[in-house]
Amino acid sequence: MFLLPVSVFAQTNGSIAVGASLTATAEGNSSSSWLSPSGDFAFGFFSLGSNGLFLLSIWYAKIPDRTIVWYADWDNEAAVAPKGSTVNLTANSGLVLRSPQGVDLWKSGTGAGVVANGVMNDTGNFVLQDRNSESLWETFNNPTDTLLPGQTLERSGTLSSRQSETNYSKGRFQLLLQADGNLVISTINLPSNFANDPYYATDTTSGKVAGSEGRELVFNVSGYLYVLRENGGKYNLAVGEAVSARDNYIRATLNFDGIFAQYYHPRNFTGNVSWTLQWSEPDDICQRITEASGVGVCGYNSICTLKEDKRPTCKCPKGFSLLEPNDPYRGCKPDFIQGCKEDELSGTKDLYDVEVLTNTDWPISDYVQLYPFTAERCNESCFKDCLCAVAIFRSETCWKKKLPLSNGRVDASLNSQAFIKVRKDNSTLQFPPMPNLDDKKTKKKSSNTLIRMESVILAASIFVSFMFSAAACLGFFFVFRKKRVRSVENILDSNLLSFSYQELQEATNGFTEELGRGAFGVVYKGTIQIGSGVQVAVKKLNCVIQDGEKEFKTELRVIGKTHHKNLVCLVGYCDEGQHRLLVYEFLSNGTLASYLFADTKPSWTQRIEIACGVAKGLLYLHEECSTQVIHCDIKPQNILLDDYYTARISDFGLAKLLMMDQSKTHTAIRGTKGYVAPEWFRNMPITTKVDVYSFGVVLLEIICCRRSVDAENDCEEKAILTDWVYDCFLEGALDAIVDYEVQALGDKTTLENFVMVAIWCIQEDPSLRPNMRKVVQMLEGVVEVQVPPCPSPFFRACLKGSFVSQV
């Protein structure tokens, strides 16, 4: 009876007194919501169906589907509450959501004030006010996935999509008004907050006109949505007339599938009327999300197709099924086992069928490109390659791709064919049953039987192999007798082309245009003729191992089998007399060193991507390729940048090609704290941890945009980068590390994590350094980064600490 007047009061003017509460009961019950004065909006518990769960939210109360425009969330999880939960309006904590057992599930907070009352406005904004009617907290300042007329978004303000149509936890898409005034939409690498490159941007930055950067995103009461610039100008997100806000409800929502759209719904209607799309961005999200923008809207191994309403739809190719049966946007999984070991253990070689799709592509999953090629040879090449899951043929080019397939889409302009390998039996491998271990006679008999079977199989295999080899040799004899020319098939392990020294001399115009030089040799620019002219980088190796051809080609086989987007691709080689040369793909944007230490500093976002790319390339070399590769010489000069500024590691696998005395030149820089791990100087085993150490130094260079050793620096304390950064870290002076860079300091959590990861990597004790898998996980925010210890007792900060402890 005491609360009855409060409830009645809430239905008339939208004001709610401190002490009022709502209870999660059956939908439609007056005790589960507070209405705005017009009754257009309701705040309270929204029933999520027959599961007995409720969402604390605001919705359109007069529309049958009761579209939600705001909901409470806590640590990226929606504040879903069981039946019987309550929300109370308190003076000191604002809105407090509690479970039936009295456990706090969510709090709004009040800033620094004391709440006098709450107001559910006709604009759809719920406001907590002090006794002077000043706002302490409001839903308009804490948006979720929707903006309403009268609402603005300040710099660093975000909208986050939900996970799916019915799951209100934080999803994979984010709309952000950046600190530089640019309004962008990006994918997020959950569960971290790391944003990939935007797939939509207004480009409302300073540019050439002062004051042209965006100040705020405005959704005015007339229904126009625009970015207001610092100079008062406007950037309209949609061109054309807006619908009447007086006659229609209007909202702008970042949908769970990454589409930002504006909708309207008539206020007065009869019958079954739904929301009408006014405009949406981007036009084609299937095409707009590229490699730098993250995984496509449909997830891995899926195919994205655009519907008439410009919303994406997802489907799995033949032989694949949904990861989540009720969510087609989570991606697909193969219904069969595919892998080199699995194929080898199968009893038959006829394992796969081929499904052919037209105008379908997964553009960023390829690990090798073959040109010139035919569709038939492309299909055959994938069919015989145990790593290949799909091959795409277009314009005489074959791209072989392996799982997981990323950013799949249908595009009528491709004029391509996709050859998908599908296992015939759709099953796992079947092995014979194990013998009864309790019966010794049975065990012995079974063992003898197996031995006899293995002998028969082995003999048959040897016979078949001999006949096949004989036939192959005979075939090659006649082929090469007829025409002794090198073709695409005459390659090392079906990966590397073999060139003569004269061919490379002609390709480089007599080795005239030098690209760079280092411990391994000199690199020249050239053009080789494979179909049309292809630009390459030709490296003449110095002091290669003396034992010659066998060891040289053994190491090249290892390098030739590596395929990763963060590694430079080795095209071919020359092994002719004393001439040992390697032919690499040519990367247009040069080395990381020239990019990082130039007059203009790369953006913080670019540096984050480069650091993560280098880490993933090293992870592949250490753990994921067929033979482990320790680089031994990670530094910015050995990291190249492609057309899209993707980091690509070069010179991997070359350490074993150098003679011992040449290798020792790497350790001749003992006097400086460069990239070389301490174990090189201490007769300790050389493991992958030497690369981890070098990566830590490079990571600091990427963060700071300065060299690891700067002998010309006026300040002696800054000369050794690792020492100086650790000093700054202990003193909490991260702003000095990035030279007070606004963008980096706006992402201070990432900055601090990256610095701590680097310090972990440069630990003097190799056992304390993380492996590269752990490094990647820490950089991506998947694993929490702990505070690292002092890297070495010889660091200045550590010497000071040791002196203090002795005193």
Label the pairing between strands 320-324 and 234-236: unpaired
Task: List Cβ<8 Å contacts ≥24 apart for 514-523.
Answer: 516/591, 516/637, 518/637, 518/638, 518/651, 519/633, 519/658, 519/662, 519/665, 519/666, 520/633, 520/651, 520/654, 520/657, 520/658
Averaged pLDDT, 495-511? 88
Crossing angle of the two packed helices 721-731 and 689-704, in degrees rounded to 10: 70
Q: Is the pLDDT of residue 475 over 80?
A: no
- The rounded distance, in Å, linking the Cα atoms of 217 and 236 is 10
Averaged pLDDT, 251-261? 96
What pLDDT does 426 receive? 52
What pLDDT does 82 receive? 87
Residue with tokens 């049958």, as numbered in its chain: 64
Q: How confident is the model at residue 740 (pLDDT cuts 50, 70, 90)?
A: confident
- The rounded distance, in Å, linking the Cα atoms of 564 and 558 is 13
What pLDDT does 686 receive? 83
Active-site residue, from 73, 361, 575, 633: 633
Of 38-42, 203-207, 471-475, 794-798, the poorest mean pLDDT is in 471-475
Domain 589-807 has CATH 3.20.10.10: no
The domain locations on the chain are 1-142, 288-423, 589-807
Q: Is the pLDDT of residue 560 over 80?
A: no
Averaged pLDDT, 552-568? 79
- The rounded distance, in Å, linking the Cα atoms of 595 and 602 is 7
CA atoms within 13 A on the CB side of 626: 13
Residue 695: what residue type? F
Three-class DSSP category at 3: coil
What pLDDT does 755 receive? 96
Q: How confident is the model at residue 12 (pLDDT cuts 50, 70, 90)?
A: very low
- The rounded distance, in Å, linking the Cα atoms of 678 and 547 is 30
- The rounded distance, in Å, linking the Cα atoms of 395 and 373 is 9
What pLDDT does 147 receive? 97
Averaged pLDDT, 528-543? 79
- The rounded distance, in Å, linking the Cα atoms of 224 and 219 is 6
What pLDDT does 429 receive? 37
Averaged pLDDT, 758-787? 92
Of 53-62, 234-243, 559-568, 759-768, the poorest mean pLDDT is in 234-243
Q: Catalytic site residue 651? A: no
Q: How confident is the model at residue 270 (pLDDT cuts 50, 70, 90)?
A: confident
Whole-model pTM over 0.75: no
What pLDDT does 532 receive? 61
CATH architecture group of domain 1-142: Orthogonal Prism (2.90)
Write the pLDDT tens digit of every residue in 216-225: 999 998 889 9
Q: Is the pLDDT of residue 613 over 80?
A: yes
What pLDDT does 192 receive? 80
Which of 473-482, 623-632, 743-752 tops mean pLDDT? Answer: 743-752
Average pLDDT over all residues of the chain: 82
- Provide DSSP, 231-280: TS-EEESS-SPPPPTTTEEEEEEE-TTS-EEEEEEESS--SS---EEEEE
Residues in the chain: 807
Averaged pLDDT, 322-336? 88
What pLDDT does 63 receive? 92
Which tokens sit at 186? 């990006």
What pLDDT does 451 receive? 42
Q: Is the pLDDT of residue 518 over 80?
A: no
Averaged pLDDT, 740-767? 92
What pLDDT does 480 receive? 36
Q: How confident is the model at residue 272 (pLDDT cuts 50, 70, 90)?
A: confident
What pLDDT does 17 receive? 94
Of 23-27, 106-110, 574-578, 786-790, the poorest mean pLDDT is in 23-27
Percentage of the residues of the chain whose pLDDT score is greater than 70: 81
What pLDDT does 227 receive? 94
> Can you name the residues that pair with 521 across neighbouring β-strands?
541
- The rounded distance, in Å, linking the Cα atoms of 420 and 352 is 9
Give exposure, 164-189, as e/b (b: 16+ Cβ within 10 Å): beeebbbbbbbbbbbebbbbbbbbbb
What pLDDT does 772 receive? 94
Write the pLDDT tens digit of every residue in 478-502: 433 333 333 333 344 446 788 899 9
Label the pairing between strands 260-266 and 409-410: unpaired
Superfamily of domain 288-423: Hepatocyte Growth Factor (3.50.4.10)
What pLDDT does 294 receive? 85
Of 231-245, 548-562, 668-682, 761-775, the poorest mean pLDDT is in 668-682
What pLDDT does 442 receive? 39
Q: Is the pLDDT of residue 681 over 60?
A: yes
Given this chain, do its domains 1-142 and 288-423 carry the same CATH topology? no
What pLDDT does 669 receive? 35
What pLDDT does 104 receive? 87
Contact partners, residue 582, CB within 8 Å, separation at least 6: 538, 539, 541, 556, 570, 572, 573, 574, 654
Q: Is the pLDDT of residue 445 over 80?
A: no
Q: Is the pLDDT of residue 64 over 60?
A: yes
What pLDDT does 217 receive? 96
> Can you name the residues that pair with 228 across neighbouring β-strands?
216, 234
Q: How confident is the model at residue 554 (pLDDT cuts 50, 70, 90)?
A: low
Label the pairing between strands 366-370 and 397-401: antiparallel
Three-class DSSP category at 170: strand
Q: Is the pLDDT of residue 672 over 60?
A: no
- Asked whether the beta carbons of 235 and 144 are under 8 A apart, the reply is no
Residue with tokens 């709090």, as numbered in its chain: 107
